[in-house]
Amino acid sequence: MQPKPDKDSNKLGTDSNTGLVPMLAGFWGKASGVFTPRSLSDGGYIRFYRTYFGVLSFAALFTLFSSLGQTFLLSFFQPYWMEAFDLSAGAIGRFYGIATLASGLLLPWVGRKLDTVPIERFSLVSGLALGGFALLTAMVWSPWVLLICFFGLRFFGQGVAPNVAMTLTGRSFDKDRGKAVSIAGLGFPLGEAFFPALLTVMIVAIGWRMSWVVLAAMVFLLLVPLSHYLLRMGTPRSQLEESGSGDGKTAGSGSGKPLPRSFFLSDWRFYGIVVALLPLPFFTTGIIFFQTILVESRGWTPAAFAFGFAVFAFVRASFSLVAGHWIDRWSALSLVSLQLLLYIFALAGLTLDTVVGAYLFFIGIGLSFGLGGSVMSAVWAEIYGTTSLGTIRGITGSFGVFSTALAPAFFGMSLDMGLSLQQLIVLSFVSSVLVFLPLSLITVRSLKQRPPQLPS
């Protein structure tokens, strides 16, 4: 069983209550009391974080540095790469798509390794590799080297880093999994708030190449040594693992050994959830990657749109903590379709020409990604147990990476063919309402009525 938090439970975490994460957790732990039972919102996040300071900080650190492979960060350099190597929107979109697709093909293998290789070794190698590719990006001298950089940053940043964080978190907690994944996921919005502001200043002050040198130094000097130190503080064992609970019948109870891939790959509901939520990474990647075109076509100032990332990060961080309470109370499966509804609201806002529409978009995706980051990190453990989380996240991550690979290529070729970004946004909205939302509702209902049964 997980130990109950108390003032002596983790001496190394007692001084952490002055940091940003526990400050946000304390505030929203109180504020979300209007949505949740008092037993869940009475300062529980602070005590929980202090008790499991090491593993939660490790996970949040990896989700923070996953920003180096995320589209929102790479899009800041897109116009400089287009100018330096004389690339059109369609060409750089295809380069980005090919590299992302290649990284996605490796994610199922990575997920399987996460179920067998010690997390200490895996995190060290992935951290060093991410820093290495960031340094190579600073020295990129041709479009083909840029393609290699895209691959490395997308693979180790967008792909591997979140998998390391969320697999360890989902495996380490059972009863309080909602709280755990919501705290671990705070690294995403923190990166979305911090890095755009940093890059806006750095690129102007020292140029885009030296900016990548600074990013690489941050990986080598912060991520690698800090993650090693935090893991040495120890990680909790999940409640299911320690108690040995579960009758071996339902997938959610855990079976003690990894499930074969064929178990969930043969279930159409597995694909139903994955495909129903593909609009979130696909459409968002396409829109954000070509944000400069969107800003120019609407007559907005770059600073006004850049501020939207801060709004997005704040909303996402806030709502992810509320989502953690909801997961612990109602289950992650019950909240799957809600994140798609919130995303539809975001797309509706972006159809407006005024800058208010941009902020409605950022608020909407903040709500959707804030909820989804916690939900999708917990839902697979609810459905299939914790023993195969690395494998499952590797497979589902590859679907997400494929969607983000195709998005820049699809949007770029559409723009080259004469379609406007406004038309692509409307297409995104209509398809989400008519296709993907109904699919999510049907899939969730089927899983609730007939949960998967573990193979005998």
Per DSSP, the residues of 242-276 read: HHT---SSBGGG--SSPPPHHHHHT-HHHHHHHHH
Residue 113's Cβ-count burial label (10 Å; 0-12, 13-18, 19+) is middle
Q: Is 100 helix (H, G, I), strand (E, B) or coil?
A: helix
Contacts of 65 (CB under 8 A, 6+ apart): 127, 130, 157, 161, 187, 191, 218, 219, 222, 223
Give the type of residue at 277: L
Q: Are 246 and 452 in contact (CB under 8 A)?
A: no
Q: Give pLDDT tens digits along the chain (456 positions).
A: 334 433 333 333 333 333 333 333 333 333 333 333 333 334 467 787 788 888 888 988 999 999 999 888 888 888 888 888 888 777 887 888 788 888 877 877 777 777 667 778 888 888 999 999 999 999 998 889 999 999 999 889 888 888 888 878 877 776 777 778 778 888 888 888 788 888 888 988 999 999 999 999 999 999 999 988 888 876 555 433 443 333 333 344 444 566 777 777 788 888 888 888 888 888 888 888 787 788 888 888 777 777 888 888 888 877 877 777 787 777 788 888 888 999 999 999 888 888 888 899 999 998 988 887 778 767 887 787 766 766 777 777 777 777 877 787 788 888 888 888 888 889 999 999 999 999 989 988 888 888 877 555
Domains and CATH numbers, the chain: 20-449 (1.20.1250.20)
Q: Please list the residues that pair with 250 across neighbouring strands.
A: 453
CA 277, 100, 358, 198 dihedral sign is positive
Q: Please choose, from the candidates 160, 137, 129, 136, the residue with its C-alpha nearest in 3D space to the C-alpha of residue 62.
A: 160
Q: d(Cα 88, Cα 160) in Å, to the nearest integer?
A: 29
Residue whose entry in the numeric block shows the structure tokens 């190579």: 136
Q: d(Cα 353, Cα 360) in Å, to the nearest integer?
A: 11
Q: What angle do CA 149, 394, 377 make, to 5 degrees?
A: 110
Instruction: Give tens-digit pLDDT for 421-450.
Output: 888 889 999 999 999 999 989 988 888 888
Enumerate long-range contacts of 93-96, CB under 8 Å, 24 or more apart: 93/289, 93/408, 93/409, 93/410, 93/411, 93/412, 93/413, 94/408, 94/409, 94/412, 94/413, 95/143, 95/146, 95/147, 95/150, 96/150, 96/289, 96/405, 96/408, 96/409
Instruction: Give tens-digit pLDDT for 83-128.
Output: 888 887 778 878 887 888 888 778 777 777 776 677 788 888 889 9
Q: Are 300 and 361 in contact (CB under 8 A)?
A: no
φ, ψ (nearest 5 deg) of residue 138:
-65, -25
Q: d(Cα 65, Cα 282) in Å, to the nearest integer?
A: 21
| 3-state percent breakdown (helix, strand, coil) of the chain, nearest 5 | 80, 0, 20
Contacts of 136 (CB under 8 A, 6+ apart): 145, 148, 149, 152
Q: d(Cα 312, Cα 214) in Å, to the nearest integer?
A: 24
For residue 3, CA distances in Å to 240, 432, 441 come to: 13, 43, 37
What's the whole-number average pLDDT of the chain? 77
Half-sphere exposure (Cβ direction) of 135: Cα atoms closer than 13 Å? 11
* Cα distance between the two ends of the chain: 27
Q: d(Cα 91, Cα 437) in Å, to the nearest integer?
A: 32
Q: Please choose, from the candidates 143, 90, 180, 118, the residue with its C-alpha nearest in 3D space to the C-alpha of residue 377.
A: 180
Q: Please choose, from the candidates 404, 389, 374, 346, the residue with its C-alpha nearest in 3D space to the C-alpha of residue 157.
A: 404
Q: Number of H helices and number of E strands within the chain?
A: 24, 0
Residue whose entry in the numeric block shows the structure tokens 């573990």: 454
For residue 401, CA distances in Å to 105, 151, 160, 282, 393 come to: 9, 11, 11, 9, 12
